[in-house]
Structure 1
Amino acid sequence: MHETLEEVQMTSRKPINGDLKVYFSLFSLLFVVLSGKVSVYLAALAIFSALSIYAAGRHYLRLMKVPSYFLIPSAIIIAFFIPGSSISIPLPISPTKEGVELAFFTLMRSYASLSVLFFMILTTSIPEVFAALKRLRLPAFVVEMSLLVYRAIQVLMDELDRLDRSASSRLGYASKRAFLRTSSLLAYSLFMKSLERSEKMNMAMESRCYSGEMPVRSEESSGYALCLVISLVLIALWLEVGA
């Protein structure tokens, strides 16, 4: 039976609870992006992947599969087309040393950031995100836009899962040629379906008298020790490499 992202969020195991979960995820995401250290990227990817697998199991792997379709080809392009000293390999076009290094750095930074973001997505519902952001005294416009983006990601993932299962049941990935054709059709269909679902979501919110204000839920935070340990590990790696 197919599970929606909302059902996964409600049934997932949560090593961190309450507003702390949102604040810690946002802090970790910001720290990982700004650190500029491959060791921090690798540690964040390993830690938050383990937390996400503990929380939601195979659902995390399914989420990570989607951006891989874009990240890996982009990294290959970077490796081959960044100017620098060529690496001798038996191919018509050889990658450059600088390109490979930049491609690896970009790939690790992207996957590390996504692992943090997906941990929050898999364990945090929209009301929890809204409540945490509202308690930070952020402007109402910022909170509303954040919620709409967050909800759009959920809609996009649900729609992609439906299209992917439909294509698989029709042997859309039976060969390499069929895979490429199916992928291109899925990309187009996903764009059109996401617009349609977004319009329906907006109509549903308006029919429920949504005007930018949502009820705030309250939940006691827990998992402070785990957050402290993870933060210390990431900071220690950043300071050690930077020293």
Structure 2
Amino acid sequence: MMIIDKLCYNSRLRYENASEKFAFAMITLFICVMSRSIAVACIVLSVTGILTVCKGGIPVSRYLHFLTVPLAFLLMSTLAIMLHIRRTPMDFFAVPIGSWYLTSSVHSFLYALQLILTALSAVSCLYFLSFTTPMPDILEVLRKLRCPKLLIELMLLIYRFIFVLLETASAIRTSQDCRLGNRDYKTALKSFGMLGSILMIRAVSRSNQLYDAMEARCYDGTIRILSENRPPKKKVIAAIILFDTALFVFSLWRRFFL
């Protein structure tokens, strides 16, 4: 089982109503992306982090570790926006390189910071949902929202095959390590290529076995999943409406009056 699923099933928010968590995450994400404000992004990042760590019981180190993955990509992608090579220095900083300058302006820096925080806060909304809501519950919410059945079944099968591929790849990698298949760079590269080719063959074989098992259990084109019915709480709904309304009003105030 992946570490995200382990954290999800051990979360203290695991048995809260999935529709409430889904609505909070999606509405907050929409407001955050729409506002494109540093202040709104900081609020969303703080609130979702507190809910995930303090209310959900996710370890801080784990949560920060998962945040550093998108942060690394964001930093690399925004360097092109923030840094410029010009003959004249700009107002934020300038590093001379011969007759040219590696420079940046305050506007470019703030724009890059805004993009990083907005994207990171949007990711934190999705982390809140994925760290507190199992995949079957999310699919049940999508079913209630009248999403196409084909899309939901594809998501379920892809989710199932992630674990199948990870299990198969782990078994092959263990077998290669036992045979000293990764003792140096050359053999490790060769073993990695063999792992990829064998994994493809095993994946096709496992998919055929899974379909045969579904047919043996009277599969009629619809995958049915048992879902637990947890009634929504009025206090939680009121808190979600209050927070998202205040966040929306604050984002409008920041955009039109500042």
TM-score, normalization: structure 1?
0.70
1:94 is paired with a residue whose SS is strand
1:214 to 1:231, Cα distance in 2 relative to 1, 3 A: same
Per-residue CA deviation, residues 177-234 of structure 1 (Å, 9 max, x unaligned), is: xxxxxxxx9xx99xx69x86x9489737536527552314133233223322321331
| Percent identity of paired positions between Structure 1 and Structure 2 | 20
Per-residue CA deviation, residues 113-158 of structure 1 (Å, 9 max, x unaligned), is: 0000000010111110011000111212333455567x39x86xx8
Does residue 125 of the first structure (1) align with residue 138 of the second (2)?
Answer: no
Q: Is the 8 A contact 2:89 2:103 kept in 1?
A: no
1:200 to 1:17, Cα distance in 2 relative to 1, 3 A: farther
Per-residue CA deviation, residues 86-108 of structure 1 (Å, 9 max, x unaligned), is: 23334541123342122111101
Instruction: Give the structure 2 partner of residue 230 of structure 1.
Output: 243
Instruction: Tell me how far apart the structure 1 counterparts of residues 123 and 19 of structure 2 sit (CA, whole Å).
Output: 20
Instruction: Give the structure 2 partner of residue 11 of structure 1.
Output: 10
Letter in structure 2 aligned against 1:229: L
- Count the aligned residue pairs: 212
Unaligned runs of 5+ in 1: 163-184
Moved beyond 6 Å, runs of 4+: 82-85
Instruction: Tell me how far apart the structure 2 counterparts of residues 228 and 80 of structure 1 sit (CA, whole Å).
Output: 40
Query: What's the Cα RMSD here?
Result: 3.9
Unaligned runs of 5+ in 2: 171-188
Which runs of structure 2 are paired with 1:38-77 in the superposition (5 Å)? Answer: 38-54=38-54, 55=56, 56-57=58-59, 58-77=61-80
Q: Is the 8 A contact 1:45 1:112 kept in 2?
A: yes
1:213 to 1:201, Cα distance in 2 relative to 1, 3 A: farther
Instruction: Tell me how far apart the structure 1 counterparts of residues 226 and 112 of structure 2 sit (CA, whole Å).
Output: 42
Higher strand share goes to which structure? 2
Which runs of structure 2 are paired with 1:179-198 in the superposition (5 Å)? Answer: none
Instruction: Tell me how far apart the structure 1 counterparts of residues 127 and 115 of structure 2 sit (CA, whole Å).
Output: 18
